[in-house]
Amino acid sequence: MARIDAASLDITHLDRLALGDTSLHRLDPRAKVLVTAVFIISVVSFGKYEVSALVPFVLFPAVMMAQGNIPFSVIVRKALFVLPFAVAIGIFNPVFDREVLVQLGPLGISAGWVSCVAIVIRSLLTVAAAVILVAVTGFPSVCWALERLGMPRTFAMQLLFLYRYIFVLIEEGRNASRARELRSAGKTSMGMATFGSLVGHLLLRTWERAERIHMAMLARGFIGEFHARRDYRFGLKDLLFLLGWSSLFIIMRQWNVSRIFGNLVTGLLR
């Protein structure tokens, strides 16, 4: 029950953050979506042994969090949720790729460990960028921007409905969990039969609830169109935001800024 409540609060927290009124929140969602897309493409396009070149990309989520007043703990919780999956993907790389790639004195680091670290860093950066985008824009505005950028309206609407369905699922799951606790006489565990029945009833209840919500939307004149929370107009600030960050990402993708800076500092210290 506590986990369900925590999940509900975690999701609604992002919606509350999206109601902010900073300069970043006021930017056109299309500019923020495009910048995030360029960032993610730049990060994932690096080679599997590139680690130092990924470090400068931490600048983007750090600046966005500071400018959008996004708590660091929110991003950390989301990133840590994805971390086990990223580790599971790259954990076997050291087994199959044992060639020594980095030599630190007597310690040799294999290429498998380097590629594993690169996978984890890329995962954390992309997840942080996506979470920040939702936190400073709001998921409905993100879907609105995707539709305006050429995504089929049906697919964009399905994304929005899927996001809203999560709230219905959490609410029904909270009710089902509370009902089970009241009838279990203090037992914390449940058998597979009870668990299967609970999940089946949960899916049926959420399906029926979603159908009722959809019928209510149709009764109120819903015709499958987005209505953004604000009236956005792509202006000069949005263009500068898009060109500035995109240019920086392209530069950091083409040249290893960490290596250049390291060589510069080493040369000055000699």
DSSP state of 251: H
Whether residue 242 sits in one domain with residue 110 = yes
Closest CA to 124 of 180, 58, 174: 58
Widest CA span of the chain, in angstroms?
A: 75
pLDDT digits (tens, 9 = 90+) for 98-146: 777 666 667 767 777 778 888 888 999 999 999 999 889 888 888 888 8
Q: Can you tell me the mean pLDDT for 9-20?
A: 73
Number of domains in the chain: 2
pTM over 0.95: no
Judged on CB neighbours under 10 Å (0-12, 13-18, 19+), 246 is middle
Q: Can you tell me the mean pLDDT for 196-212?
A: 74
Whether residue 23 sits in one domain with residue 59 = yes
Whether residue 242 sits in one domain with residue 223 = no
Q: What is the per-residue pLDDT for 268?
A: 67
State what percent of residues in the chain have pLDDT above 70. 79
Q: What is the per-residue pLDDT for 77?
A: 82
- Give exposure, 2-14, as e/b (b: 16+ Cβ within 10 Å): eebeeebeeeeeb
In which domain, by residue range, is 178 found?
A: 152-227
Cα 142 from chain centre: 12
Whether residue 253 sits in one domain with residue 126 = yes
Whether residue 27 sits in one domain with residue 109 = yes
Is the pLDDT score of 2 beyond 60?
Answer: no
Whether residue 73 sits in one domain with residue 200 = no
Residue 87 lies in a domain: yes
d(CA 10, CA 170): 11
Residue 269 lies in a domain: no
d(CA 156, CA 260): 42
Whether residue 120 sits in one domain with residue 17 = yes
Residue 147 lies in a domain: no
- Cβ proximity of 140 and 68 under 8 Å: no
Q: What is the per-residue pLDDT for 150?
A: 86
Closest CA to 249 of 57, 121, 37: 57
Whether residue 6 sits in one domain with residue 28 = yes
Output the six-digit token pair for 240.
């500068």
Whether residue 223 sits in one domain with residue 234 = no
Whether residue 132 sits in one domain with residue 94 = yes
pLDDT digits (tens, 9 = 90+) for 209-243: 778 877 887 887 777 666 666 667 888 999 999 99
Residue 49 lies in a domain: yes
Q: Can you tell me the mean pLDDT for 89-98?
A: 76
Range with top average pLDDT, 84-98, 102-116, 150-164, 181-195: 150-164
Whether residue 21 sits in one domain with residue 60 = yes
